[in-house]
Structure 1
Amino acid sequence: MIDCSEKVEVPATKPYITFQGAGRDVTVIEWHDRACDPGPDGAQLRTYRTASVTVLANHFSARNISFKNTAPAPLPGMEGWQAAAFRISGDKAFFTGCGFYGHQDTLCDDAGRHYFKDCYIEGSIDFIFGNGRSMYKDCEIHSTATRFGSIAAQFRTSREEKTGFAFVNCRVTGSGPIYVGRAMSQYSRIVYSYTYFDDIVAHGGWDDWDHKNEKNKTAFFGVYKCWGPGAAAVSGTSWARELDYDTAHPFLAKSFVNGRHWIANSDA
């Protein structure tokens, strides 16, 4: 195994960078910061600054490599234990054959258009989160939750925003119970299509975060032709929509992230 223990940042001034590994089980970049840890200025890092690898640049790509935060797993309700493995804040980022390992807040899908193909993403609480406009295709989403957990927390703030998370032909495995999505903001948007769910989905399937502001009336949580022993629970709340093909279609192709302009057909 090639294990690199350091904290890495790709600044906005360095576009078109590629991280190429020898396989996600072979090449790993890892660090161990938590939100409650002090930064160089003595103040707490907080969540977004904990990432083992942070990418602020556009046109980033990563292939066959893993990113890990080795901080211990928190129990639900513990404060300051958010620990991101990766933060992507640049536009037009592509990942294939990559692994993302952590517990709470593993993958900060912060901002921009992103495409994840054949990736493995592991965590326990809100372990894919942010306001990215992202497609997850043929990925394994693996829960390590013990008492309770959640997969995706998305932060769209208005109906006009084009952000959201689209999961297509993925596998949701691991331990539970978990919510498959949470309304991190008023207009959170998350859609699962053609996705397999282990029997780990919590009753109701989805969570409106703080039970205030009637987010269940403004969030867009969709399901299209999902399957597996946990699939029925994914549709277990009245405000998670069972989509028809016309409604689901925008979330099924790389056009969701305008990928025709920057993702090669061989990569999609």
Structure 2
Amino acid sequence: MIPTLFLLVLLLQSAISSSTRNESNHMMVLEKSYLNWMKQMSSMTHSQFNKAKNKLKPCLIITVNIKAKKGDFVTIQKAIDSLPLINLCRVVIFIHPGKYREKVEIPPTKAYITLEGAGADNTIIEWDDTADRKSTNGKPLGTFGSATIAINSAYFIAKNITFKNKAPLQPSRAQGKQAVALRISGDTAAFIGCKFIGTQDTLYDHLGRHYFKNCYIEGSVDFVFGNGLSLYSGCHLHAITNSYGALTAQKRDSMLEETGFSFINCKVTGSGALYLGRAWGSFSRVIFAYTYMDKIITSRGWYDWGDKNREMTVFFGQYKCSGPGANFGGRVKWSRELTQQEAKPFISLSFIDGYEWLS
């Protein structure tokens, strides 16, 4: 019998494939199906499974090398396409040094895939799509479709790779110039020692529980955005705007959604004037703890997306941060300097149920 997860994702994949409407409808199909599944599978906690059961011991190792005959495949997508439609064991795809100019997509049914590079400065996956670029059906790709790599499956792991969108820097909030380097829509994903390079909307932390450790993320506006439940540990966040920008745009829309971004032991550097976050969702939730903030952080710290009502429902907080941009004195009144008790739920792996699926 095929597990419930894979029955769901097969139906989801079919729904997505049959959608020929615009990007907003395309994303609605994915998001609605995924969230309905979450609702059905949830227990009293935010765990989407009774217990997440990872598989870390590989059953197969294959190689990708941009030089013909030096590996099993010359492109990453061909390596992924070679796997069974429903993959039930850990497959490690080792990617040799090189710049791999390709768009990559991992479908929902191909779980337990590891992409491992030869160092983030040596193994680079890059493309240059923007939201306003036309797809094969003549319609704009949209933010969702602009991603250089899109991951829709569970238990994905990436190590020591750069994911890059090469679209050039545009004026802040330029229409149609969203350019995603990576979109992660699958649950229980881990990224170790990776780099995410882009400008507007670099890392689409879309849906699911995710762990980012010792990663580098570069962008200008909303360069970490989405509605994931994610922990960023020891990451370097670097702004490249010369005007106003924003680090995060978290899209929690209901107090019943247990999503949010938590940044622990990170550092924020770069240029321009940067908000820590914008309230994309009415109940947007982002916290920074033990994080160094350079002087680029605006004194107000946070932006309500132009909706005063969100000031009553968002959860934006800091805990024991340092650096010239961490001064809480000028922050908006509706953000929080957290107490130890308030910060505790956000600063360990339990925030993302990580003790279940990361080891």
- What CA distance in whole angstroms lies between the structure 2 residues aligned with 1:140 and 1:69? 18
Query: Aligned residue for 1:53?
Result: 149
Q: Is 1:254 equivalent to 2:332 in the alignment?
A: no
Query: Aligned residue for 1:18?
Result: 114
Q: Return the offset for 1:77.
A: 3.6
Kept in 1: contact 2:299–2:325 (CA 8 A): no
Going by fraction, where is helix more abundant, 1 or 2?
A: 2
Kept in 1: contact 2:165–2:198 (CA 8 A): yes
Identity of aligned residues (%): 49
Query: Aligned residue for 1:223?
Result: 318
Q: Which TM-score applies when normalising by structure 1?
A: 0.96
Kept in 2: contact 1:186–1:219 (CA 8 A): yes
2:262 is matched by which residue type in structure 1?
A: A
Query: Aligned residue for 2:103?
Result: 7
Deviates more, 1:232-241 or 1:211-220: 232-241
Kept in 1: contact 2:199–2:240 (CA 8 A): yes
CA RMSD of superposed structures (Å): 1.0
Query: Aligned residue for 2:175?
Result: 79
- 1:77-132: CA deviation from partner (whole Å, max 9, x where unpaired): 42000000000000000010000000000000000000000000000000000000
Closer/same/farther in 2, CA of residues 70 and 45 from structure 1, 3 Å limit: same
Partner SS for 1:191: strand
Q: Is 1:32 equivalent to 2:124 in the alignment?
A: no
2:282 is matched by which residue type in structure 1?
A: Q
1:202-213 mapped onto 2 (5 Å cutoff) = 202-209=298-305, 211-212=306-307
2:297 is matched by which residue type in structure 1?
A: V
Q: Return the offset for 1:236.
A: 1.2
Q: Is 1:263 equivalent to 2:358 in the alignment?
A: yes
Please identify runs of 4+ aligned residues in structure 1 that moved more than 6 A. none
Q: Is 1:183 equivalent to 2:292 in the alignment?
A: no
Q: Return the offset for 1:234.
A: 8.3
Number of residue pairs matched? 263
Q: 2:199 pairs with 94, 100, 103, which one?
A: 103
Q: 1:193 pairs with 289, 296, 302, which one?
A: 289
Query: Aligned residue for 1:145?
Result: 241
Q: Return the offset for 1:233.
A: 5.4
Q: Return the offset for 1:6.
A: 0.3
Kept in 2: contact 1:124–1:143 (CA 8 A): yes
Query: Aligned residue for 1:243?
Result: 338
Q: Return the offset for 1:235.
A: 5.9
Partner SS for 2:144: helix
- What CA distance in whole angstroms lies between the structure 2 residues aligned with 1:180 and 1:248? 17
Higher Rg of the two aligned structures? 2
Name structure 1 gaps, 5 residues minimum.
none
Q: Which TM-score applies when normalising by structure 2?
A: 0.72
Q: Return the offset for 1:74.
A: 1.2
Closer/same/farther in 2, CA of residues 235 and 219 from structure 1, 3 Å limit: farther
- 1:25-84: CA deviation from partner (whole Å, max 9, x where unpaired): 110000000000001110001101000000000000000001000001110242000000
Kept in 2: contact 1:156–1:188 (CA 8 A): yes
Name structure 2 gaps, 5 residues minimum.
1-96
- What CA distance in whole angstroms lies between the structure 2 residues aligned with 1:89 and 1:199? 33
